[in-house]
Amino acid sequence: MSLANAHALFCGLKAEPSYLANLDVSDDERGQLMEARREIRMALKAAAARIQVTDNYWQESYRQKVSWRQRPDIHIKFMTQGSFAYRTLNDPAQKLTQEIDLDDGMYVPVQFIENGEPALAAKGLFEFVDAVLKPLCDARGWTRDPTKACCARVKLWQGAHIDIPIYSIPQDRFEQLRESLAKADLHMATRDSVKGAWKLPSDKIMLAQRDGSWVQSDPQMMHDWVEGRAERYGPSFRRLCRFFKGWRDYTWEKSTLSSICLMRAVDMALTELPGLPNGERDDELILEVAKRLPSIFEGKVANPVLFHLCINEWSNEDRGKINEGATALRGEMEAALERTGDAEQVVLKLRNRFGTRLPYRPDAVKIAPKISAIQKAPAAVVAAPRIIPSTSG
């Protein structure tokens, strides 16, 4: 057990918001995001019939063989992904330069041609999305960002945007997706888990690139991995991911340390602990993860679902900055929880790394007698069961 107990500062204050609550996006902004997503979806669905009859939206080899009258009707579906779907979304720490990001994948059913690619042209689908959203953006005062290589981006206001990655799926699988999404909507309405609500073969899901190419990509694999970690570690996993994302965003205005890399690093650190989190001491869990971050970042951090991909291939300059920041976090956490013994200093040291969204509440910090703290066994974990079920990863 650490000398200081600062769990309440991170999660558990009752009279005022804890750090976790201060990371939440406001209800007003969340509502605006949901309304913008609804309008964008409606506009694209209403215009989907254009795809069938517009030659530029199809690959040349396909349209030479198949007239527009023989092309299939196009219906599109959407699935929100990323931190919004993982429930790890944070309000930006530096609002002038950082933004809330909502990723809403657009799925288009299509036939595949001889070379294994979709019959639809990737570049043509970007043209379709850009053309449909232009009048909507003009009317709402939104701005389109045509520079993103793998998605269409709509900037809603300073500090928020919606990304629309475009996926093709086999036409014969589209009904399966439509039925599964209906189930997911039902589960969401009853606030039950939507884990496993829909599945598609990953090798048949292709992500459009603005340069006209297609790449294999299945965001559901990552979603399943996050759900699997949350199932294994409990609610502490999502909280830890949000805490460390909050640390990153407070430390750097911009960083190549991705959220997926942070989530994977948290997972790697937790596997080194002797048991599973019990949710009673988030501060000690943050400390244990922080102690391991420098060595984790120094080694290879593999993509959790595409193991051959490294997600911390940073430049020497970026690696130096990230390692310096992780080392500073480790030192400050150790000083605050293990060596300080003064409640006010505990708060000040933690705020040095997490910012002023961590509440200034020295009265909420519990200081244990040094001898007692040394004698007691760690309380942040409980024994792991013999078999740990996991959906993926």
pLDDT in tens, 215-234: 988 888 999 999 999 999 99
Q: Are residues 248 and 273 in the same domain?
A: yes
Into how many domains does the chain fold? Answer: 2
End position of a domain, from candidates 172, 191, 217: 217
End position of a domain, from candidates 155, 184, 217: 217
Q: Which residues of 78-98 are buried (b: 16+ CB within 10 A; e: fewer)?
A: bbebbbbbbebbbbbbeeeeb
> Do the domain assignments include residue 187?
yes
> Do the domain assignments include residue 119?
yes
Q: Are residues 210 and 232 in the same domain?
A: no
Q: Are residues 21 and 52 in the same domain?
A: no
- The amino acid sitting at 365 is V
> Do the domain assignments include residue 168?
yes
> Do the domain assignments include residue 42?
no
- The amino acid sitting at 180 is S
Block residue for tokens 């209906």 = 182
> Do the domain assignments include residue 299?
yes
End position of a domain, from candidates 195, 217, 239: 217
Give the predicted TM-score (pTM) of the model: 0.86
> Do the domain assignments include residue 39?
no
Q: Are residues 163 and 234 in the same domain?
A: no
Reduced 3-state DSSP string for the chain? CCCEECHHHHCCCCCCCCHHHHCCCCHHHHHHHHHHHHHHHHHHHHCCHHHHHCHHHECHHHHCCCCCCCCCCCCCEEEEECHHHHCCCCCCCCCCCCCEEEEEEEEEEECECCCCCECECHHHHHHHHHHHHHHHHHHHCCEEECCCCCCEEEEEECCEEEEECEEEEEHHHHHHHHHHHHHHHHHHHCCCCCCCCCCCCHHHCEEECCCCCEEECCHHHHHHHHHHHHHHHCCHHHHHHHHHHHHHHHHCCCCCCCHHHHHHHHHHHHHCCCEEECCCCHHHHHHHHHHHHHHHHHCCCECCCCCCCECCCCCHHHHHHHHHHHHHHHHHHHHHHHHCCCHHHHHHHHHHHHCCCCCCCHHHCEECCHHHHHHCCCCCEEECCCCCCCCCC
Q: Are residues 227 and 194 in the same domain?
A: no
Structure tokens at 169: 């799926």
Residue pair 178/198 in contact (Cβ under 8 Å)? The answer is no
CA distance 288 to 270: 8
Q: Are residues 119 and 184 in the same domain?
A: yes
Q: Are residues 246 and 319 in the same domain?
A: yes
- The amino acid sitting at 223 is H
Q: What tens-digit pLDDT sequence spans the chain (393 residues)?
A: 789 999 999 998 988 999 999 999 999 999 999 999 999 999 999 999 999 999 999 999 888 888 888 888 888 999 999 999 999 999 999 988 999 999 999 999 888 776 778 889 999 999 999 999 999 999 999 999 999 999 999 999 999 999 999 999 887 666 665 666 566 554 443 333 334 444 555 567 899 999 999 998 888 899 999 999 999 999 999 999 999 999 999 999 999 999 999 999 999 999 999 888 888 899 999 999 999 999 999 999 999 998 899 999 999 999 999 999 999 999 999 999 999 889 999 999 999 999 999 999 999 999 988 644 444 444 455 555 444 444 333
Domain hosting 178: range is 47-217
> Do the domain assignments include residue 93?
yes
Q: Are residues 191 and 139 in the same domain?
A: yes
Of 243, 266, 254, the residue nearest 357 (C-alpha)? 243
